[in-house]
Structure 1
């Protein structure tokens, strides 16, 4: 009888210690699960938060390449940008337009825009340009013609085989009086109303 009681005590001890281990493992799984599900939970509760690999790559490009030497001079508003992806050359790999809107990147004639390839290499750095950017169905040298409004006059920017013209203000008036019905419009909202990314 004494042996049965000792055996029963030992079994009870093992069961309790196993249930504690199960609880620890369950808690560990919850911790790991919570660590992984944090992003999706954030997206569920806040639909404005979208994890975008392009955005992450662009932030790295800004900090470690494009603006790295000037980071110390930037104000909080200078860290804001917007971007849109679009395939301009028909290769099914989208290029990325980046739009800035702070005093560091803008002057009286417009702001800096960047056109990047999918490896964040600059195709064209546009200066003194205003949004929106119209992507026409017409192509030159295999790339879509861009139309921008420069002080009330449309200017068309055609790819020259390497890049687009960087300063629309020095271009002649476009032969287009208006955009086509089939053009794609980028950055059609004021900066403050669009999705803003921060690097």
Structure 2
């Protein structure tokens, strides 16, 4: 709701700064359409995930430490990441799913990535996975269970001793389809996530 109000305020401010002769102004039409959808609750705000510069800086700093030995052999094209924030343990602090989509981090079995806590420390490194990842409503050790796709199958990952398993492909195959109430994160293939360099 807070995001909708901020968007509404921004739209009104933008609209008020427009030229007074708006009869043929395409911006006016777009603003009015967006305004009516926002007020009516039908605007799709999921297309533009909020950018968190602090999170990007934190992840970038941690990747430069974690991948220090790899940096010399990586090309510029391989030095980028995607991320998505999600509070995995309901402590009101986001954890960060960090994924890659290039030949250095991906192979025939899938891609690698990380789950970082709110301070940037590694909770998990994972391998051989396809994106997106699904966060379930069930939990183990106060952390939500996850579903990773690997090798064309969905695998159920549960927290154990403070870690999720790092290789999803050897974990229990999830029974049935991904539950509808699960939340999709790190959907790199949707082209909606921004790419960041490190």
Contact 2:97 2:186 in 1 (8 A): no
Structure 1 runs of 4+ aligned residues shifted over 6 Å read none
For structure 1, which runs of at least 5 residues remain unmatched after alignment? 1-46
Contact 2:49 2:193 in 1 (8 A): no
Q: Which moved more, 1:146-155 or 1:134-143?
A: 146-155
Residues 72-121 of structure 1: per-residue CA shift (max 9 Å, x gap) = 11111211100011011111111111001111111210111100111111
SS at match of 1:57: helix
TM-score scaled by length of structure 2: 0.70
TM-score scaled by length of structure 1: 0.70
Q: Which residue does 1:196 correspond to in 2?
A: 195
User: C-alpha distance in 2, partners of 1:166/1:62?
Assistant: 17
SS at match of 1:88: coil
SS at match of 2:177: coil
Q: Which residue does 2:151 correspond to in 1?
A: 151
RMSD: 2.0
SS at match of 1:119: coil
SS at match of 2:58: helix
Q: Which residue does 1:42 correspond to in 2?
A: none
Q: Which has the higher helix share?
A: 1
Residues 161-182 of structure 1: per-residue CA shift (max 9 Å, x gap) = 310011011123123x112221
Contact 2:83 2:99 in 1 (8 A): yes
Q: Which residue does 1:60 correspond to in 2?
A: 61
Residues 114-172 of structure 1: per-residue CA shift (max 9 Å, x gap) = 00111111111001111010000111111101012222321100000310011011123
Q: Which residue does 1:184 correspond to in 2?
A: 183
User: C-alpha distance in 1, partners of 2:121/2:49?
Assistant: 28
Query: Measured at CA, do residues 105 and 57 of structure 1 come closer, stay the same or move farther in structure 2, by a change above 3 Å?
Result: same
SS at match of 1:131: strand
Q: Which moved more, 1:49-58 or 1:137-146?
A: 49-58
Q: Which residue does 1:89 correspond to in 2?
A: 89
User: C-alpha distance in 1, partners of 2:104/2:161?
Assistant: 30
User: C-alpha distance in 1, partners of 2:54/2:125?
Assistant: 22
Residue correspondences, number: 151
Structure showing greater Rg: 1
User: C-alpha distance in 1, partners of 2:102/2:132?
Assistant: 16
For structure 2, which runs of at least 5 residues remain unmatched after alignment? 1-47
Aligned pairs for 1:27-38 (under 5 A) are: none
Report the alpha carbon displacement of residue 192 of structure 1 after superposing the two structures with TM.
Answer: 5.1
User: C-alpha distance in 1, partners of 2:144/2:50?
Assistant: 31
